[in-house]
Amino acid sequence: MSIKYGKPDSNQPGIVHALTDAYASVLYLTAVGGGAPDLLVGRSMPCPYCTKLFKQNKLIEVKTAVGKLRPEQQIFHQSWNGQIAVARNINEALAIAGGEAERLQAIRGEQRQQGGAA
């Protein structure tokens, strides 16, 4: 059986940059092949009921606005028992990573104004 390795979509660098700006850890999975998604994204999220942070990991397949899942990607998505989603733009990726896109973009803007991570 041959494993087909994907190539990153053109919007992937911007999405990764936005995720890291929002304090997410990003691991590239593009070379894994076999229908695996492009990114493993981890973030620490506040508990809505207390002050503790909990860690979340999500798999994200990056597609362009008109991109479609290949058959092996469809199989992977259907069989995966964890959190997996498709992001077509920065706002979708930020929302998938765990939080409202507007809030995370505001954090990025504040960091840039303060000369922090950009």
Q: Is residue 38 part of a domain?
A: yes
Please list, in sequence order, all residues whose beta carbon lies within 8 angstroms of the beta carbon of residue 113, skipping any fewer than 6 positions away: none
Whether residue 5 lies inside any domain: the answer is no
- Supply the Cα-derived Rg of the chain in whole angstroms: 15
Q: Can you give the pTM of this predicted structure?
A: 0.77
Task: Give tens-digit pLDDT for 63-103.
Answer: 999 999 999 999 999 999 999 999 999 999 999 998 655 55
Average pLDDT over residues 34-45: 92
Closest C-alpha among 95, 108, 84, 88 to residue 29: 84
Residue 46 lies in a domain: yes
Burial class (CB in 10 A: 0-12, 13-18, 19+), 71: exposed
Q: Is residue 63 part of a domain?
A: yes
Residue 3 lies in a domain: no
Number of compact structural domains in the chain: 1
- Which CATH number covers residue 29? 3.40.1350.10
**CA pair distance 24, 41, nearest whole angstrom:** 6
Question: Does residue 47 fall inside a structural domain?
Answer: yes
| Contact in structure between 43 and 98 (CB atoms under 8 Å) | yes
DSSP H or E segment with residue 112:
helix 101-113
7 lies in some domain: no
